[in-house]
Amino acid sequence: MSSKTKHDLKTGGRILLAAGGTGGHMFPAGAVAEELTAAGYEVHLVTDKRGMAYVSNLPPMALHQIPAATVYGGGLFAVPMRIVTLLVSLLVSMFLIIRLRPKVVVGFGGYPSFGPVLAGLLMRRTVLVHEQNAVLGRVNKLAAGLGSFVATSYNDTVNVPKAAAEKMRRTGNPLRPAILKAAAGGYRYLATSRAFELLIFGGSQGASVFTDIVPKALALLPADKKRRLRVVQQVRQVDMRETLTAYGDEGIYSEIREFFTDLPTRMRRAHLMIARGGASTVAEMAALGVPTIFVPLPGSLDQDQKHNVHELDRTGCARVVAQRDFTAELLADELSKLMDNEGRLQRMSDKARTFAELDATGRLFRYIDCLAQEAPVHIDKPKEVANG
């Protein structure tokens, strides 16, 4: 069945996607870009220099690099230059929209989306913003207040302006095809006699606390549990030798990398993960049903990671530990309990999967398509028409 038949679409025209310079923004944009391209749309992606580092992992599409900056951080003296950068981004985006004449401008958050989204609104183009987190980001909140359509990943997204309620739909957070493929296998049942696969990763901002705490926690485990462990951990290059030595001294099998290109496969194999609470990590964890200990990144203005994992913690899908409480002793105690309780791990997995939105890419695609075709918005999956 072709993509056009599958989605039952009228196709054609350009769609302009704008995404911030992180994987959490870029991968959802890439997932929906693939659907749009298959349906006959010409897709263009706008991002900044950081975002360009991710494009090799995205489907082919036209690319446009623009300057971007945040007015937060960097000190008072940096603010004027950053405001100038944002104004340049806005002007460049306006010229780009005049040239491309997109049917819809779709923003995925982050400051590289500021220029295209605001330019689209000022030029009275149809604008949709997608929020990956449980808290509406600052660029998306501004856009929503100015009349854009809004797609959320959570039912109870915080900071959504009241004026945006009628134009808001929950689509979920689009997942990479590799995650969807891995999710088809379900959680790997743990038997007491089998090795215990522990995956630890935290992204560019979050790996250091795990590098400090996790080896110390595993050193506190009984010898029989150390022998069962198979540790796969993301570690910064500068910390690799020290981390390998720590695990080697305890006789714990470990595989250390600065970056995993096959993370979906690693997640699929894990019996337990230790991770930050980024939106993509949470969505992928739920899709795969991987029991997880979350340590949300502290200090962010919106506390988005804390909000992302709140419901998972409340319902027993995951264990959430504030970074200030994340000690070697606490982690060793939690790991020891989980390694002896296959039933609890399986229940955590089953509950987590109830939060998964495996059709998030399709739902967001249908939202964009309805806007592009100026049709009533229907984002639920069309019912299959019976043959004969």
Distance between CA atoms of residues 387 and 48, nearest Å: 48
Distance between CA atoms of residues 63 and 58, nearest Å: 11
Query: What count of Cα atoms within 13 Å lies in the side-chain half-sphere of residue 155?
Result: 5
Two tokens at 14?
A: 């350009």
Q: Could you tell me where in the chain the CATH 3.40.50.2000 domains are found?
A: 3-175+358-372, 180-353
The one-character DSSP state at 135 is B
Two tokens at 159?
A: 């900071």
- Residues composing the chain: 388
pLDDT (tens place) for every residue of the chain, 388 residues total: 334 434 444 457 999 999 987 888 999 999 999 999 999 999 999 999 988 988 888 899 999 999 876 655 555 555 677 788 888 999 999 999 999 999 999 999 888 999 999 999 999 999 999 999 999 998 999 999 999 999 999 998 999 998 888 899 999 999 988 899 988 877 776 665 579 999 999 865 557 899 999 999 999 999 999 999 999 999 988 999 999 999 999 999 999 998 888 888 899 999 999 999 999 999 999 999 999 999 999 877 678 999 999 999 999 999 999 999 999 999 999 999 999 899 999 999 999 999 999 999 999 999 999 999 999 999 998 775 444 4
Query: What count of Cα atoms within 13 Å lies in the side-chain half-sphere of residue 78?
Result: 7
Query: What count of Cα atoms within 13 Å lies in the side-chain half-sphere of residue 192?
Result: 6
Q: Is the pTM of this model over 0.75?
A: yes
Point out which residues pair with 151 in neighbouring strands.
130, 169
Q: How many CB atoms lie within 10 A of CB 4?
A: 13
CATH of 180-353, one of 3.40.50.2000, 3.40.50.300, 3.30.950.10, 3.40.50.2300: 3.40.50.2000
Q: Which residues of 82-91 are buried (b: 16+ CB within 10 A; e: fewer)?
A: beebbeebbe
Q: How is domain 3-175+358-372 classified at the architecture level of CATH? A: 3-Layer(aba) Sandwich (3.40)
Distance between CA atoms of residues 160 and 388, nearest Å: 46
Helical residues (DSSP H) of the chain, grouped into ranges: 3-7, 23-38, 49-52, 79-100, 114-122, 138-145, 177-183, 203-219, 223-228, 240-249, 263-269, 279-288, 304-314, 328-339, 342-353, 360-372
